[in-house]
Chain A
Amino acid sequence: MFYAIILPVLLAVLVPFLAKLKARIHTGILVLWAPLLIFIYFARKIGKQFQPSDQHISWIPSLGINLDFHLDGLSLLFVLLISGIGTLVVLYSIFYLSRSEQLGHFYVYLLMFMTAMLGVVLSDNVFVLYTFWELTSISSFLLIGYWHHNERSRYGALKSMLITVFGGLSMLGGLLMLTVLSGTASIQGMIAKADVILASPYMPLVLVFILLGAFTKSAQFPFHIWLPDAMEAPTPVSSYLHSATMVKAGIYLIARFSPVFSQYDWFVITVSVVGTITLCWGSYMAVRQTDLKTILAFSTISQLGMIMAMLGFGTKLAVFAAVFHILNHATFKGSLFMITGAVDHEAGTRDMRKLGGLVAFMPFTAALALFGTFAMAGIPLPFLNGFYSKELFFDSVIHLENSSNAILNTVVMLLPYAVVAGSIFTFVYSMYYFFGVFFGKNKTDALSKTPHEAPLGMLIAPFILVAGIILIGLFPNSVNGSLLEHAAAAVLGTAPSHNIDIHFWHNFSQAFIMTMIVAVAGTILAATRARWTDVYQLLPGRLSFNRVYDWLLERLQIVSRRVTHIYMTGSVRHYMLIILGATLLGTFLVMFTTGGVHIRFNDLAPVSLLEVIIVVMMVIAAVATLFAKNNLTAILILGVVGFGTAMLFVIYRAPDLALTQLVIETITVAIFLLTFYHLPKLRKREDTKREKTINLIISVGFGAMMTLVGIFSFSSESFAKISDYFIETSHSIGGGNNIVNVILVDMRGFDTLFEITVLGIAALAVFALIKFNRDKGAR
Chain B
Amino acid sequence: MEFIICILAGILFATGIYNILQKQMLRIILGTGLISHGAHLFILTMGKLKRGQPPILTEGVSRYTDPLPQALILTSIVISFGITSLILVLSFRTAKENQTDNMDQLRGTEHE
Q: Considering only CB atoms and an 8 Å cut-off, how many residues of chain B contact the other chain?
A: 86
Closest to B103 in A: A572
- Complex contact A726–B103 (CB within 8 A): no
- Complex contact B13–A634 (CB within 8 A): no
Chain A residues near B79 (CB, 8 Å)? 755, 758-759
A580 and B83 alpha carbons, distance in the complex (Å): 20
Q: Would you call A683 an interface residue if the criterion is a C-beta within 8 Å of the partner chain's C-beta atoms?
A: yes
A618 and B4 alpha carbons, distance in the complex (Å): 12
Q: Would you call A362 an interface residue if the criterion is a C-beta within 8 Å of the partner chain's C-beta atoms?
A: no
Q: Would you call A686 an interface residue if the criterion is a C-beta within 8 Å of the partner chain's C-beta atoms?
A: yes
A344 and B22 alpha carbons, distance in the complex (Å): 68
- Given known contacts A675-B92, A706-B42, A576 and B9 CB-to-CB distance under 8 angstroms: no
Contact pick for A573, options B7, B37, B56, B103, CB 8 Å:
B103
Report A659 CB to chain B, min CB distance, Å. 10
B-contact 0/1 string along A175-200, CB 8 Å cutoff: 00000000000000000000000000
- Complex contact B67–A703 (CB within 8 A): no
- Complex contact B46–A660 (CB within 8 A): no
Report A608 CB to chain B, min CB distance, Å. 8
Q: Please provide the chain B residues from 27 to 54 with a CB less than 8 Å away from any CB of chain A in the complex.
A: 27-28, 30, 33-34, 37-38, 40-42, 44-54
Contact pick for B57, options A571, A731, A770, CB 8 Å:
A731
Contact pick for B77, options A664, A700, A727, CB 8 Å:
A664
Q: Which of A79-87, A267-275, A649-657 contacts B (4 or more CB under 8 A)?
A: A649-657
- Given known contacts A605-B48, A680-B101, A762-B83, A660 and B77 CB-to-CB distance under 8 angstroms: yes
- Complex contact A755–B55 (CB within 8 A): no
Q: Would you call A682 an interface residue if the criterion is a C-beta within 8 Å of the partner chain's C-beta atoms?
A: yes
**At the interface, is chain B mostly helix, strand, loop or mixed?**
helix
- Complex contact B37–A641 (CB within 8 A): yes
Query: Of A625, A651, A763, which is in contact with the most chain B CB atoms at under 10 Å from its CB?
Result: A625
Chain A residues near B66 (CB, 8 Å)? 721, 723
Chain A residues near B3 (CB, 8 Å)? 604, 711, 714
Contact pick for B26, options A570, A680, A695, A748, CB 8 Å:
A680
B-contact 0/1 string along A596-621, CB 8 Å cutoff: 00000001111110011001001100
Contact pick for A687, options B1, B23, B65, B107, CB 8 Å:
B23
Chain B residues near A573 (CB, 8 Å)? 21-23, 103-104
Report A67 CB to chain B, min CB distance, Å. 43
Chain A residues near B90 (CB, 8 Å)? 765, 769
A705 and B9 alpha carbons, distance in the complex (Å): 10
- Complex contact A664–B78 (CB within 8 A): yes
- Given known contacts A683-B24, A710-B45, A571 and B85 CB-to-CB distance under 8 angstroms: no
Chain A residues near B26 (CB, 8 Å)? 631, 634, 679-680, 682
- Complex contact A612–B4 (CB within 8 A): yes
Q: Would you call A672 an interface residue if the criterion is a C-beta within 8 Å of the partner chain's C-beta atoms?
A: yes
Report A605 CB to chain B, min CB distance, Å. 4
- Complex contact B14–A710 (CB within 8 A): no
- Complex contact B48–A618 (CB within 8 A): no
- Complex contact B12–A740 (CB within 8 A): no
Report A710 CB to chain B, min CB distance, Å. 4
- Given known contacts A618-B12, A660-B78, A703-B10, A680 and B24 CB-to-CB distance under 8 angstroms: yes
Q: Would you call A444 an interface residue if the criterion is a C-beta within 8 Å of the partner chain's C-beta atoms?
A: no
Report B63 CB to chain A, min CB distance, Å. 9
- Complex contact A706–B57 (CB within 8 A): no
- Given known contacts A638-B30, A699-B18, A710 and B65 CB-to-CB distance under 8 angstroms: no
Query: Of A622, A664, A704, which is in contact with the most chain B CB atoms at under 10 Å from its CB?
Result: A622
Report B16 CB to chain A, min CB distance, Å. 8
Q: Would you call A51 an interface residue if the criterion is a C-beta within 8 Å of the partner chain's C-beta atoms?
A: no
- Complex contact A702–B14 (CB within 8 A): yes
A672 and B85 alpha carbons, distance in the complex (Å): 8
A318 and B86 alpha carbons, distance in the complex (Å): 73
Q: Would you call A289 an interface residue if the criterion is a C-beta within 8 Å of the partner chain's C-beta atoms?
A: no
- Complex contact A615–B21 (CB within 8 A): no
Chain A residues near B13 (CB, 8 Å)? 699, 702-703, 706
Chain A residues near B101 (CB, 8 Å)? 680
Contact pick for B67, options A580, A608, A740, CB 8 Å:
A740
Contact pick for A654, options B4, B58, B65, CB 8 Å:
B65
Closest to B97 in A: A774
- Complex contact B46–A703 (CB within 8 A): no
Report B44 CB to chain A, min CB distance, Å. 6
Contact pick for A710, options B18, B42, B51, B68, CB 8 Å:
B42
- Complex contact B1–A653 (CB within 8 A): no
Q: Would you call A18 an interface residue if the criterion is a C-beta within 8 Å of the partner chain's C-beta atoms?
A: no
- Complex contact B111–A737 (CB within 8 A): no
Closest to B112 in A: A570
A675 and B77 alpha carbons, distance in the complex (Å): 21
- Given known contacts A738-B55, A752-B75, A743 and B68 CB-to-CB distance under 8 angstroms: yes
Report B95 CB to chain A, min CB distance, Å. 5
B-contact 0/1 string along A121-135, CB 8 Å cutoff: 000000000000000
Q: Would you call A678 an interface residue if the criterion is a C-beta within 8 Å of the partner chain's C-beta atoms?
A: yes
Contact pick for A660, options B34, B50, B74, B95, CB 8 Å:
B74
Chain B residues near A612 (CB, 8 Å)? 4
Chain B residues near A638 (CB, 8 Å)? 30, 33-34
- Complex contact B17–A699 (CB within 8 A): yes
A645 and B7 alpha carbons, distance in the complex (Å): 14
Closest to B19 in A: A625
Chain A residues near B17 (CB, 8 Å)? 576, 580, 698-699, 702-703
Sampled A-B contacts (10; CB under 8 Å): A570-B108, A611-B1, A625-B19, A626-B19, A641-B12, A648-B44, A703-B13, A714-B46, A739-B57, A758-B82
**Interfacial residues, chain A to chain B (CB-CB below 8 A):** 569-573, 576-577, 580, 603-608, 611-612, 615, 618-619, 622-623, 625-626, 631, 634, 638, 641-642, 645, 648-649, 651-657, 660-661, 664, 667-668, 671-672, 675, 678-680, 682-683, 685-687, 695-696, 698-700, 702-707, 710-711, 713-714, 721-723, 726-727, 730-731, 737-740, 743-744, 748, 751-752, 755, 758-759, 762-763, 765-766, 769-770, 774
Identify 6 new A-B residue pairs, CB closer than 8 A, beyond the known A660-B77, A744-B71.
A641-B37, A653-B65, A672-B88, A706-B9, A710-B45, A711-B3
Which 4 pairs from chain A and chain B are nearest by CB?
A703-B14, A707-B10, A710-B6, A570-B107
